[in-house]
A = this chain, B = another copy of it.
């Protein structure tokens, strides 16, 4: 599945911002190069993100983008909604041709499911992702170090 590539780009860019924006703003040119996304496309995405208050732009030299609020206040759902506008309407909604119940049940079930996915994505923040990533990174370093020790031992033996 794809979960919409647009949303993927937006999440990736916001992650870049969360990682690199700790000391001063990050330029779109940087993100463009880091993530391999075209500059103009990023501009379009960030226009949407800005309009929802997820990022804050600073013009002029030394400018760039900040996160609009703390990374633990920005959920993945926020980001994806900003660029993708989560309009999940069923076909019959509001129409009169949905009285037999059966087909409405199907639609309700789908609505429930997409609601669940939404809640799931609302629970994950940028901060969560960064932290989990760091934890995993540390774990990896740990493992690498211990395997190096083992390697030395086996070499010695």
What residues make up the interface of A, taking CB atoms closer than 8 Å to B? 1-4, 7-8, 11-12, 15-16, 19-20, 34-36, 76-77, 80-81, 84-88, 91-92, 102-103, 105-110, 112-114, 116-117, 120-121, 124, 129-130, 132-133, 136-137
Taken together, the copies of this chain in the complex come to 2
Chain B residues near A15 (CB, 8 Å)?
Answer: 106, 109-110
- Give the complex CA separation of A76 and B92 in angstroms: 22
A105 touches which one: B3, B19, B88, B113 (CB < 8 A)? B19
A109 to chain B, nearest CB (A): 5
A132 to chain B, nearest CB (A): 7
- Give the complex CA separation of A16 and B120 in angstroms: 25
A2 to chain B, nearest CB (A): 5
A1-B81, A11-B110, A109-B133 given; name 4 further pairs at CB < 8 Å.
A1-B3, A8-B114, A12-B110, A15-B110
Closest 8 CB pairs of A and B: A1-B80, A1-B84, A36-B91, A1-B86, A109-B133, A34-B103, A15-B106, A109-B129
A89 to chain B, nearest CB (A): 11
Chain B residues near A12 (CB, 8 Å)?
Answer: 106-107, 110
In the complex the two chains form, is B1's CB within 8 Å of A113's CB?
no
